[in-house]
């Protein structure tokens, strides 16, 4: 990944006056990379003397709450006062972390668009970024936004200023977005960055346990139910796909907490021959769709065409306003049409 020097210099200039009021925003349904990159970048800005506020549109999974500073994150959806709107209105700079368009953060995006004249800076690795930013660090070839943050820090300052806590946050983003170093874009630079994070004092087995072995028993039972009872296979010619659906009731029966179905969509891809996996989760307002694929099967394009969504080539998402059964029927037709 080549980050252009002029962008780094423009960022340096934007951060020159201290302190500034800086708001860091992560995407909806925040994951390890959204929270990791936000806390890491914000931690660096705080260490440089800026006033940093962290906001995400809705709740993040409990297995990320140990990340240093995560207790300071404001959940926009839960707002009980106009405090967050005031912080947004007072911001000099807004950093958008791990998502490609303000439109993707819903009410929080509307609040930013209507209340704020702050300069906006994008730090992201999704395809097709929107263009309404003062400065854009958009690198789809980066395996995570957290690795992008690491690279920006290395060019803007020096990686020696990274504290162990910040190194941990970066590692969480790298680890979760690469599927523990098993997806694409695993470059020598990425592993060099991990070597540096180890030098900075991170404990990889500890982080792995905090993120992947911190689930409730209900979550593990829900996974068993999702795979054992709800997984379905589809074959179109020699193309094979699989899907799982979970209704609100099924989730409630398993005392569902935000983040509990994270990663479910990956399991069907471990079946030999299956090159696309989908997961349908019912929420009060719509059906959330998660898509994963192998190799050349492009779920970014598929999500865009059929589910008003997008993401990456092998990991994307979208939504449907239809009911759960109707959405699944539509999905099956779409698979037949697209992959025949
Ligand atoms: P997940 O399945 O983990 O929620 O999302 C997988 C990837 O797809 C993430 O990179 C996420 O940002 C992207 N994604 C998920 N839902 C949507 C959506 O509704 N629209 C777009 N453009 N991207 C999405
Ligand atoms: Mn990411």
> Which domains occur in the chain, in start order?
5-212 (3.90.1640.10), 217-338 (3.10.310.30)
**pLDDT above 90 coverage of the chain, percent:** 97
Per the structure block, which two tokens stand in for 128? Answer: 């097709």
Residue closest via CA to ligand 1's atom 13 equals: 311
pLDDT, average across residues 316-327: 98
pLDDT, average across residues 12-33: 97
Residue carrying structure tokens 């989908």: 278
Residue closest via CA to ligand 1's atom 7 equals: 316
Residue by residue, DSSP assigns 248-281 as HHHHHTTT--TTTTTTGGGGGGGSTTEEEEEEEE
Atom of ligand 1 nearest to the CA of 291: 2
pLDDT, average across residues 228-252: 98
Helix (H, G, I), strand (E, B) or coil at 11: helix
What is the best residue among 35, 264, 310, 312 to mutate for testing ligand 1's pocket, by most ligand atoms within 8 Å of CB? 310
CA dist., res. 100 & res. 311, Å (int): 9
Say if CB 131 and CB 61 are below 8 A apart.
no
CA dist., res. 141 & res. 125, Å (int): 7
Residue closest via CA to ligand 1's atom 8 equals: 316
Predicted confidence (pLDDT) at residue 22 exceeds the cutoff of 80 = yes
SS3 content of the chain, % helix, strand, coil (to 5): 45, 20, 35
CA dist., res. 281 & res. 226, Å (int): 11
pLDDT, average across residues 200-210: 98
Mean pLDDT of the chain: 97
Per-residue pLDDT at 78:
78
Measure 236 CA to ligand 2 centroid, in angstroms. Answer: 31
Per-residue pLDDT at 207:
98
Per-residue pLDDT at 50:
98
Number of alpha carbons in the 13 Å side-chain half-sphere of residue 54: 24
Find the ligand nearest to 288 CA. 1
What is the distance, to the nearest Å, from the Cα of residue 229 to the centroid of all Cα atoms in its chain?
28
Measure 171 CA to ligand 2 centroid, in angstroms. Answer: 12
pLDDT, average across residues 265-269: 98
Environment class of 253 (CB within 10 Å of its CB; exposed 0-12, middle 13-18, buried 19+): middle
Residue closest via CA to ligand 1's atom 19 equals: 318
The pTM assigned to this predicted structure is 0.96
CA distances 184 to 14, 123, 180, 223, Å, are 33, 19, 11, 25
Measure 318 CA to ligand 1 centroid, in angstroms. Answer: 6
């Amino acid at each position: 990944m080549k980050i252009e020097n002029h962008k780094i210099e423009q960022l340096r200039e934007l951060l020159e006056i201290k302190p500034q009021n800086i708001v860091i925003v992560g995407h909806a349904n925040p994951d390890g990379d959204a929270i990791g990159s936000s806390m890491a970048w914000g931690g660096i800005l705080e260490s440089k003397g800026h006033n940093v506020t962290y906001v995400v549109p809705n709740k993040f999974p409990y297995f990320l709450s140990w990340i240093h500073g995560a207790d300071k994150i404001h959940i926009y959806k839960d707002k009980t006062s106009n405090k967050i709107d005031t912080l947004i209105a007072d911001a000099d700079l807004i950093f958008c972390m791990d998502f490609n368009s303000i439109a993707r953060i819903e009410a929080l995006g509307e609040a930013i668009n209507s209340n704020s004249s702050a300069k906006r800076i994008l730090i992201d690795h999704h395809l097709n970024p929107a263009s309404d930013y003062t400065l854009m660090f958009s690198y789809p070839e980066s395996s995570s936004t957290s690795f992008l943050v690491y690279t920006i820090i290395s060019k803007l300052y020096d990686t020696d200023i990274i504290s162990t806590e910040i190194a941990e946050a970066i590692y969480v983003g790298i680890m979760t977005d690469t599927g523990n170093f098993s997806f694409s874009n695993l470059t020598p630079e990425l592993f060099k960055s991990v070597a540096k994070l180890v030098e900075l004092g991170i404990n990889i087995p500890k982080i792995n346990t905090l993120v992947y072995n911190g689930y409730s028993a209900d979550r593990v039972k829900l996974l068993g139910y999702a795979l054992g009872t709800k997984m379905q296979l589809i074959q179109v010619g020699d193309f094979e796909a699989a899907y799982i659906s979970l209704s609100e009731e099924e989730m409630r029966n398993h005392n569902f907490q935000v983040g509990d179905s994270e990663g479910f969509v990956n399991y069907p891809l471990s079946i030999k021959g299956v090159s696309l996996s989908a997961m349908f989760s019912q929420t009060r307002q719509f059906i959330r769709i998660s898509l994963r694929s192998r190799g050349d099967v492009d779920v970014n394009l598929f999500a865009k065409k059929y589910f008003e969504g997008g993401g990456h080539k092998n990991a994307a998402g979208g939504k449907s306003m239809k009911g759960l059964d109707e959405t699944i029927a539509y999905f099956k037709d779409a698979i037949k049409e697209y992959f025949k």
